[in-house]
Amino acid sequence: MPQDYLFYELSIKDLEPTISRFSKSDRAFERNFNPAMSKSVMITEALVKTKLLSSVFRGRLRNSIVSKVVVLPGSKIFGIVGSSLKEVYPQVVEHGRRPGRFPDIGELKTWVRLKLKVPAKKLDSVTYLIGRRIAKRGIKGKHFLARAYQTAKPAILRYHKDALDHYTKFLAGKGK
């Protein structure tokens, strides 16, 4: 074998600790961003419950507001705030309702009786009139979730900026 080859050895200072940090980056991501996202959903949920749905009909929607944080592989994290009710009611309150079909009379009658305190003998006619108006004009959404997020957004951005600063320092070897 000819001796025409030159061999070089290259040594990079502190390469092993850097590789080690990157191999631990998913755990560091979760350690930094999970608290930020948890605080984000908690503040948004609190705003919905205390400010935006404070004067409510029976409190059923307000009491159904929940939040959770979901962490997925690949440094993905999601914060979810919404209603646990498995019906259309939360979406109608959030987004409104287009004109068109007549609303459910049973639920509407309960609302008219309790909220408007209509006497029993006028209950059916008032319920019908309100239902007809809803069918003709729809219902404007309250956008309570969107408004809560917009109100909480400066704090949410601050939580995530702090998390990103700590995470970046960890990757640079200057933090934990």
Q: Give residue-wise pLDDT tens across range 109-127.
A: 988 988 898 999 999 999 9
CA 144 from chain centre, in angstroms, equals 12
- At 11 the pLDDT is 59
Tens-digit pLDDT profile for residues 119-155: 999 999 999 999 999 999 999 999 999 999 999 999 9
Length of the chain: 176
Q: How many CB atoms lie within 10 A of CB 6?
A: 5
Q: How far apart are CA 174 and CA 102, in angstroms?
A: 63
Phi, psi of 79 (to 5 degrees): -110, 130
pTM here? 0.76
Give how far Cα 155 sits from Cα of 2, 44, 123, Å: 68, 10, 46
Tens-digit pLDDT profile for residues 8-54: 666 566 667 666 766 778 888 888 999 999 999 999 999 998 877 66
- At 125 the pLDDT is 96
Q: How many CB atoms lie within 10 A of CB 127?
A: 21
